[in-house]
Amino acid sequence: MAANRRESSPFASSSSGSNADDEGVRGTCEDASVCKRYAVSIGYWHDPYIEHLVRLSKERKAPEINRGYFARVQGVSQLTKAFLRKTECHCQILNLGAGMDTIFWNLKDEDLLPSKYFEVDFPAIVTRKLHNIKNKPALAKPIVELHSEDTLKMDGHMLDSKRYAIIGADLRELPQLEEKLKKCNMNTQLPTLVITECVLVYMTPEQSANLIKWAANSFETAMFINYEQVNMDDRFGQIMIENLWRRQCHLAGVETCKSLESQRERLLSNGWETASVVDMMEVYSRLPQAEVSRIESLEFLDEKELLEQLMHHYCLCWATRGGQDLGLKEIAC
Ligand SMILES: C[S@@+](CC[C@H](N)C(=O)[O-])C[C@H]1O[C@@H](n2cnc3c(N)ncnc32)[C@H](O)[C@@H]1O
């Protein structure tokens, strides 16, 4: 969440998926997952799986960063669960740019698994995650238990099982992405939730628009959840961009992160019928007050303004298409 963190970064003008700029983008996976692991380790939320995927940072993270991640994880989780309940789990989830995300394992524990859960990230990230899945029983067991056949389809960049698939692909290469998803039995007839949590900003506006359009056109009934930067036109946004530049990270998609309206407009002009966008301060204020009081007692936060400034520069967006009968339009966080 912070202005000087790489996650708020990346870049890449090429779509080859293997250039030097992409290395910076892949590095953001580490940034996000290490921050999540740290927040979990001091009690912000419960996630018994993240320790099997991410090392624990020795470096203390600032309270405003931890609260930011708390709001982000709660916000995405609330919208995801609302979709699962509306569809009674007869649906699929595509988590694009999933990094070391653990949503699949946590949903299984809550008996809220969709018919199938797909994760996509660069092949190098997928290889790393697969290594952990194969070697950590806590991660492997749920996948194997849910899989009725003897053997799982797996290579270095892909695993396909009955309820979970992880695929190495470049989100800017849509024909290959679609082909790989279809090989893993993505079902375009099922209500589908597409999640991009801090991912689109690493693509050019044209590339992210194409991905959003592809998602809208691929499924009759769908919902899109996007979390990323917003209000990047001010001094704070400028500092964030400059810090990232110094670390060879370019926010290729920052133009779309100008305002809540530019975020909403991108969804509406690329095939989505309804779109809502709120900044993370608003998300934070809508979270259950008992939970907020609990996490606020974990660490003392000296300067509230710092938290507000940070939260004002990130947003949660959700959009729907079809699904009138399911009541998808009524979903809100
Ligand atoms: C900031 S991390 C977020 C990870 C995860 N969504 C989370 O919130 O914890 C961004 C992720 O998007 C992935 N990513 C960005 N651009 C991508 C692309 N063109 N193709 C595949 N993955 C991409 C990165 O590799 C990284 O894992």
Ligand 1 pocket, residue 97 CB under 6 Å? yes
Instruction: Tell me the CA–centroid distance for residue 29 and ligand 1, in Å.
Output: 6
pTM of the model: 0.94
Is the predicted pLDDT of residue 234 greater than 60, yes or no?
yes
Read off the tokens for 275: 């779109």
Question: Tokens 């202005």 — which residue?
Answer: 3
* Ligand 1 midpoint to CA 289 (Å): 31
Q: Is residue 208 part of a domain?
A: yes
Q: Which pLDDT score is estimated for 201?
A: 95
Q: Consult the annotation and say whether 197 binds a ligand.
A: yes
Instruction: Kindly state if the Cβ of 123 falls inside 6 Å of ligand 1.
Output: no
Residue with tokens 């691929």: 218
Using CA atoms, how far residue 162 sits from 137, 183, 267, in Å, is 18, 12, 31
For residue range 197-223, what is the model confidence (pLDDT) as tens digits? 999 999 999 999 999 999 999 999 999
Q: Is the Cβ atom of 99 under 6 angstroms away from ligand 1?
A: yes
Ligand 1 pocket check for 321: Cβ under 6 Å? no
Tokens of 175: 């024909």
CATH code for the domain of 153: 3.40.50.150
Q: Is the pLDDT of residue 1 over 50?
A: no
| Whether residue 16 has pLDDT greater than 50 | no
Rounded to 10 deg, the angle between the 123-135 and 137-145 helix axes is: 90
State yes or no: 113 annotated in a binding site.
no
The reported pLDDT for the residue numbered 19 is 63
Q: How far is the CA of 251 from the centre of ligand 1 (A)?
A: 13
What is the number of domains present in the chain? 1
On whether residue 25 sits in a domain, the answer given is no
Q: Considering the domain boundaries, does residue 110 fall inside one?
A: yes
**Relative to the CA of 17, which ligand 1 atom is closest?**
19
Q: Cα dist. 333→75, 228, 318 in Å?
A: 7, 16, 9
- What's the 243 CA to ligand 1 centre distance in angstroms? 19
- In angstroms, the Cα distances linking 206 to 80, 191, 270 are 26, 26, 11
Alpha-carbon distance of 109 to 125, in angstroms, equals 25
Q: Is 171 in the pocket of ligand 1 (CB under 6 A)?
A: yes
Look up the domain containing 310 and give its range.
71-330
pLDDT band at 15 (very low <50, low <70, confident <90, very high): very low
Whole-Å CA distances, 175 to 39, 130, 178, 180, 210: 37, 24, 5, 9, 11
325 CA to middle of ligand 1, Å? 33
Question: What mean pLDDT comes out for the span 113-142?
Answer: 97
| Predicted pLDDT at 2 | 41
Q: Is residue 18 over pLDDT 60? A: no
The answer to the question of whether 97 is labelled as a binding residue is yes
33 in a structural domain: no
Given this model, what pLDDT does residue 117 score?
98
DSSP annotation of 7 reads G
Residues 191 and 115: beta-carbon distance below 8 Å: no
Instruction: Round to whole Å and give the CA distance between 153 and 221.
Output: 28
Question: Is 91 inside a domain boundary?
Answer: yes
Q: Which structure tokens are listed for 40? A: 């979990």
Mean pLDDT of 102-130: 98
| Residue 22 annotated in ligand binding | no
Q: Is the dihedral of CA 3, 8, 12, 17 positive or negative?
A: positive
Cα-Cα-Cα-Cα dihedral sign, residues 163, 166, 171, 177: negative
Question: Does the pLDDT of residue 14 top 70, yes or no?
Answer: no
Rounded distance from Cα 294 to ligand 1 centre (Å)? 30
Pairwise CA distance, residues 38 & 56, whole Å: 6
Say if residue 291's pLDDT is above 80: yes
Ligand 1 near 163 CB (within 6 A): no
Measured between its terminal Cα atoms, the distance across the chain in Å is 20
Mean pLDDT of 164-175: 98
Q: Is 26 in the pocket of ligand 1 (CB under 6 A)?
A: yes
Q: What is the structure's pLDDT at 10? A: 24
Assigned domain for 43 exists = no
> How far apart are the CA of 303 and the centre of ligand 1, in A?
30
Token digits of residue 324: 């009138």
Quick: pLDDT tens for 122-135.
Answer: 999 999 999 999 99
Go through 210-223 and write b for each residue having 16 or more CB atoms within 10 A of its CB, e for each that does not: bbbbbbbebbebbb
Specify if 265 maps to a domain. Answer: yes
Q: Is there a domain that residue 56 lies in? A: no
Mean pLDDT of the chain: 92
119 lines ligand 1 (CB under 6 A): no
Residue pLDDT, tens place only, 25-75: 898 899 999 999 999 999 999 999 999 999 999 999 999 999 999 999 999
pLDDT band at 13 (very low <50, low <70, confident <90, very high): very low
pLDDT computed for residue 47 by the predictor: 98
Residue closest to 126 by CA, chosen among 146, 150, 91, 155? 155
Q: Which residues contact 161 (CB under 8 A, 6 or more apart)?
A: 143, 144, 146, 147, 152, 153
